[in-house]
């Protein structure tokens, strides 16, 4: 499973961009995928954020995947909230992307989203 890190200010919208690949690190096009889901949760508590538990993002719900494997996901202000207001600096959230294609083929990408707690800027 690959991993990216992404920074965003709390209560602000942002766009995550990344490349979805197969097991050989070759880009996967939207026409090949059967499913593409996103789960967004707080790293410390495991709490699901804003109902994002295996949400379909295959060219819907703010997700866009082109024929070259380029993926974009709009994260609105309601997704970029600070769960624990006592955190100073940045709170870590996890965006887990999971996709399937072909027969019994699947991939995952973990994106660490650091949400800057602007109320507690050091």
Q: What is the DSSP string of 2-62?
A: EEEEEEEETT--EEEEEE-B-TTS-B--TTTEEEEEEEEEETTT-PBSTT-SSEE-SSSTT
The stretch 60-70 carries a mean pLDDT of 97
In this model, does residue 97 exceed pLDDT 60?
Answer: yes
Tell me the pLDDT band of 122, cut-offs 50, 70 and 90.
low
Q: Is 91 inside a domain boundary? A: no
Mean pLDDT across the chain, nearest whole number? 93
Domain tally, the chain: 1
- pLDDT score, position 92: 95
Dihedral of CA atoms 8, 13, 18, 21 in degrees, nearest 10, equals 120
- In terms of residue numbers, what domain contains 65? 2-81+96-120
Whole-model pTM? Answer: 0.92
Q: What is the DSSP letter of 118?
A: G
Q: Is 90 inside a domain boundary? A: no
Q: Is 109 inside a domain boundary? A: yes
In this model, does residue 4 exceed pLDDT 60?
Answer: yes
Q: Is 86 inside a domain boundary? A: no
The stretch 11-31 carries a mean pLDDT of 94
Tell me the pLDDT band of 119, cut-offs 50, 70 and 90.
confident
For residue 46, give the CATH number of its domain: 2.60.40.10
- pLDDT score, position 120: 59
- pLDDT score, position 91: 92
The three-class DSSP label of residue 95 is strand
Q: Is 87 inside a domain boundary? A: no
In this model, does residue 107 exceed pLDDT 90?
Answer: yes
């Amino acid at each position: 499973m690959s991993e990216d890190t992404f920074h965003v200010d709390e209560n602000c919208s942002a766009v995550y961009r990344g490349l979805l690949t197969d097991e050989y690190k070759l880009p996967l096009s939207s026409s090949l995928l059967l499913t593409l889901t996103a789960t967004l949760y707080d790293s410390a508590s495991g709490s699901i954020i804003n109902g994002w538990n295996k949400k379909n993002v295959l060219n819907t719900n703010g997700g866009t995947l082109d024929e070259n494997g380029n993926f974009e996901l709009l994260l609105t202000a309601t997704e970029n909230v600070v769960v624990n207001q006592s955190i100073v600096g940045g709170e870590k959230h996890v965006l887990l992307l999971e996709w399937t294609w072909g027969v019994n083929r699947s991939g995952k990408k973990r994106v660490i989203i650091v949400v800057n707690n602007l109320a507690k800027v050091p």
